[in-house]
Chain A
Amino acid sequence: MIRRALQVGFSRGLLTRGLRTRSGGPFNDRDGKWAEFKKKLQVFWPGGSWEPFTDTSHLPPEHADVVIVGGGVIGWSVAYWLKRLEARKNALRVLVVEQDPTYSMASTGLSIGGIRQQFSLPQNIQLSLFSIEFLRNINEYLAVPDEPLLDIQFNPSGYLLLASEEKAAVMEHNVKIQRQEGAKVCLLSPKQLKDKFPWINTEGIALASYGLENEGWFDPWCLLQGLRRKALSMGVYHSHGKVVNLVSSVRSMMTSSGEQVDLKRIYEVHVKVDNSLECQPVECAIVINAAGAWSGEVAELAGIGIGSPGTLQGTRLPVEPRKRYVYVWHCPEGPGLEAPLLTDITGSYFRREGLGGYYLGGCSPMEEEEPDTKDLEVDHDFFQKKVWPYLAQRIPAFNSLKVRSAWAGFYDYNTFDQNGIVGPHPLVSNMYFATGFSGHGLQHAPGVGRAVAEVLLNGNFNTIDLNPFSFNRFYRGKKVLENNII
């Protein structure tokens, strides 16, 4: 009776569980914990399979200041310039994470390596001008002691862009801008074109612009390996793995109009190592998205674009992979050594490959006919139907040719305005973009690398102002269109 009275009287006090039971705090479930302890002891008792110090050299470091997602030419260029522009040696710990060390699907290795200054945006022209200066002096930038010098194999054959009657005014305007920026481009009338390049059929051409200097093509693999070698020698860490998660801390704030905005800060990158189930969390201060065709997926991991459309929160990164084909053919009667990289009014292009009468070329398909991007299989019919007829019409010598091989590669295609995205994201404050170049990423890589390093270290662009390429334009709807897309 007393116990019941006590229970009733002190029901919310000390005797809620009755007089005999008491919470032992951390000593609850003593028996279960002892069994667990014995199991743990058995594992590392001598004779067990547990090793105190396992080899973790294949894992990325547990902490990095800057994590660059993507080890293509843009990623390694950013890493190189970060190390080059940091104020003191070893100030920053940079980690480059690349999911495929064979670069089998990366855009860099599959690119045809062209570089031109014939763009319509001043920023693009400036980027190309800096890049060609970088490439011409590549050994001053990227030489490593006791290692062989780089041979970028630059063919300075120039680009020849052809324009029909409707596009002639735009081309003239573009050439004016290019000349203002310092590119050496000249305009050719159809007759001058015929005199210079007798193998062209000038029917339908109103104007042509020809790059006289600093244009041509080079070996993209050499640039990538050069940047990689130099960055590694300057102390950049690299890891072969896939970024599977970006953990961030969130701060919710209200705008003056009452809308809720989530400001995020990524503080951990989870890297899943190749061919293994191991996932290493890398604590980081800054993440750079240089993942090329897969940048959209990486951005989604950070929560970019997850929200109602029309808001800043819901604006996705509009970069997706687009497959482009390149065909190599042999034509002994072809244009020969003087052939520049010619872009026809129909969008098809070709260039000389090597010295044995081989040429390569392709065409950007129409929006409706985009091939699917699940693999890199080549569609040979595309050449027969969409590329060859136009090329053969423009260069009669190409009427008889033999296709030797073909490959396909991805463009990191910016579906909004086909120009790069450079700079920080407004909401995820420590993610910087360097992606979406839609086919001209390789030629802009040195310039973009330097720009991203500048904005990261100094807070603004010092040399080339890439503010028009910021992420904000997707929210504002301001397209930064490039007229000369190949």
Chain B
Amino acid sequence: MLKILTSTFMLIPLTWYSKKPWLWLNTTMHSFIISIWSLTLLYHDSDLGYNYNNYFSLDSLSGPLLILSCWLLPLMIMASQNHLAHEPLVRKKIYLTTLIILQLSLIMAFTASELIMFYILFETTLIPTLIIITRWGSQNERLNAGLYFLFYTLMGSLPLLVALLYLHNNLGSLHMLTMTLVAPTLDSSMSTSLLWYACMMAFMVKMPLYGLHLWLPKAHVEAPIAGSMVLAAILLKLGGYGIMRITAFTEPFTSTLCYPFMILSLWGMIMTSSICLRQTDLKSLIAYSSVSHMGLVIIAALMQSPMGFMGATVLMVAHGLTSSMLFCLANTNYERTHSRTLILTRGLQMILPLMCAWWLLASLANLAQPPSINLLGELLVIMTSFSWSNFSLILLGTNTVITAVYSLYMLITSQRGKFTDHIYPIKPTLTREHMLMTLHLLPLLIISTCPKFILGVTY
């Protein structure tokens, strides 16, 4: 554990002491080395996982998410090079430091073995993200976006704090290992329902659940590229991870109390997928697509069945990589035309054919094309949900179709068709951008050959 934590922490002095020509190379290279090492954490030989000390542990649920988070840091740094090119050196270093602090909080959040520590780090991740969105976003609306993001999450997590303190008081300890051994002491009364909802709200806002999702399109669209990537790929998964951990305490009640959230998720998936079809802003389209996919994760996580947990974990990892890749692709468009509007960057297949290949692969992954792990996750979720209620199959089937429709709509509008005159002399794709796409896609394709590593605790 200290291997990752200390080395990530030492990235901060690395940025501050790097000279100007070496800054990006140093940070990218060292964070990449850390992420390559973290791949060794994929191997779990026991159900209990690795227990490093009293505070940090890793099991087959938090392992893949930790690796995803470590993998994304070099990618975020690579993606930010262009829009920070004209900033003064100190400001670039501050940006990188903010990213690294965010990364530290995320690593500690995923490996936290005590729920209070998890909560503290869950809240800590908000601050660097807020700084990145409001300071380095590119439009006026980013102040509004930062406000929505901060206050939605804070309002959701205040009840969680109360609930955790109450539980700690009653149970004596909130350590993950002792959770499974504790006999449930909750009786079925109004206060238990309130406790359950208090526990869940923070994660529902974070996921986000449809109905509490208003902050997401704003925050994703207004954030700079690294902000969008970390938000879509990892911060949303904190919610899913939290649900799966905290439902260990609320054993018999989840099956009855989860109804509103299940219904909202099922309906919300279809609604947000349909909204994607009407979007004019490319980043907004990808943001709503994230909401839709996370709806599936909520359904799976609330089902509390082995297949459900498997589906939730796979979908979280797959969506992290796919969504982050789509945001990177949208950013390559934005850097060239300085506009996020979908209709102003059309017909790119003729002009940047290799980038079209990445667009194609990312869109296919987004619509859960076999044999990608996106499909694996969606299938597991669909099977789980069918076992809960036969009727949900119709809703989930409709969502799959609409997901395919909007993914293909995004692909065809941006790549096919006649390009407009102001597009043809845009800069060709840089090697850095190709590398970014490859590093997103390669894990996705390689994992689909052996997905057992990311199937989570119930495999």
Contact = CB atoms under 8 A, between A and B. Distances in A.
Contacts of B423: 429
Contacts of B421: 423-424, 429, 455, 459
A460 B421 CA distance: 8
A61 B140 contact: yes
A90 B16 CA distance: 43
Contacts of A39: none
A286 B422 contact: yes
B166 interface: no
9 cross-chain pairs, A with B, having the tightest CB-CB distances, nearest first: A285-B339, A91-B280, A430-B422, A424-B421, A263-B425, A459-B420, A459-B418, A429-B425, A65-B339
B342 interface: yes
A26 B422 contact: no
A458 B420 CA distance: 6
B90 A26 contact: yes
A430 B419 CA distance: 13
A90 B343 CA distance: 11
Interface residues of A, number: 34
Interface in A278-321: 283-286
Given A86-B343, A265-B425, A63 B278 contact: no
A87 interface: yes
B344 A65 contact: yes
A285 B341 contact: yes
A280 B328 CA distance: 28
A92 B16 contact: no
A432 B421 CA distance: 9
Nearest to A88: B280
Given A251-B425, A458-B420, A459-B419, A63 B343 contact: no
B401 interface: no
Given A65-B341, A90-B280, A265 B420 contact: no
In this complex, the member of B90, B93, B138, B420 whose beta carbon has the largest number of chain A beta carbons within 10 angstroms is B420
A236 interface: no
B347 interface: yes
Contact of B338 (A61, A267, A423): A267
Nearest to A267: B338
Given A86-B343, A458-B420, A459-B347, A285 B139 contact: no
Interface string A432-463: 10000000000000000000000111111000
Given A26-B16, A88-B280, A458-B418, A285 B425 contact: no
Interface string B341-373: 111101100000000000000000000000000
B280 A283 contact: no
B452 interface: no
B61 to A, nearest CB: 40
B434 interface: no
A25 interface: yes
B344 A92 contact: yes
A62 interface: yes
In this complex, the member of B17, B278, B280, B347 whose beta carbon has the largest number of chain A beta carbons within 10 angstroms is B280
A90 B338 CA distance: 17
A338 B93 CA distance: 77
B28 interface: no
Contact of A285 (B140, B337, B424): B337
10 contacts: A26-B90, A26-B93, A87-B280, A91-B343, A92-B344, A251-B425, A285-B341, A429-B421, A459-B347, A459-B418
A429 to B, nearest CB: 5
B48 interface: no
B427 interface: yes
B425 A457 contact: no
B343 A62 contact: no
Nearest to A249: B427
B182 interface: no
B158 interface: no
Contacts of B419: 459
Contacts of A86: 280, 343
Given A429-B422, A459-B418, 9 more contacts: A62-B139, A86-B343, A91-B342, A251-B427, A429-B423, A430-B422, A432-B422, A457-B420, A459-B419
B426 interface: yes
Given A26-B90, A86-B343, A88-B280, A456 B420 contact: yes
In this complex, the member of B139, B347, B425 whose beta carbon has the largest number of chain A beta carbons within 10 angstroms is B425
Interface string B403-440: 00000000000000011111111110000000000000
What's the dominant secondary structure at chain A's contact region? mixed
B23 to A, nearest CB: 12
Interface in B130-182: 138-140
A444 B346 CA distance: 29
A25 B420 contact: no
Contacts of B343: 86-87, 91-92, 457
B339 A88 contact: no
Nearest to B339: A285
A285 B333 CA distance: 11
B196 to A, nearest CB: 40
A265 B426 contact: yes
A432 B279 CA distance: 26
A88 B344 CA distance: 12
A186 B140 CA distance: 58
Nearest to A287: B422
Contacts of A63: 138-140, 338
A286 B427 contact: no
Contacts of B346: 459
Nearest to B18: A25
Interface in A70-105: 86-93
A44 B328 CA distance: 39
Interface in B21-62: none
Contact of A25 (B17, B139, B140, B424): B17
Contact of B138 (A89, A91, A263, A283): A283
A154 B419 CA distance: 40
Contacts of B342: 91
Interface string A316-353: 00000000000000000000000000000000000000
Nearest to A285: B339
Contacts of A457: 343, 420
B184 to A, nearest CB: 51
B179 to A, nearest CB: 46
Contacts of A459: 346-347, 418-421
Contacts of A251: 425, 427
Nearest to A65: B339
Nearest to B345: A285
Contacts of B17: 25
B94 to A, nearest CB: 10
In this complex, the member of B16, B17, B280, B339 whose beta carbon has the largest number of chain A beta carbons within 10 angstroms is B339
Interface string A170-191: 0000000000000000000000
Contacts of A89: 280
A284 B338 contact: yes
Nearest to A64: B339
B422 A424 contact: yes
A320 to B, nearest CB: 26
Nearest to A56: B140
Contacts of A265: 422, 425-426
B6 to A, nearest CB: 22
Interface in A216-251: 251
Interface string A128-165: 00000000000000000000000000000000000000
Contacts of A61: 139-140
Contacts of A25: 16-17
Contacts of B337: 285, 430
Nearest to B346: A459
B254 to A, nearest CB: 41
A89 B337 CA distance: 21
Contacts of B339: 65, 284-286
A26 B16 CA distance: 8
A383 B53 CA distance: 99
A283 B339 CA distance: 8
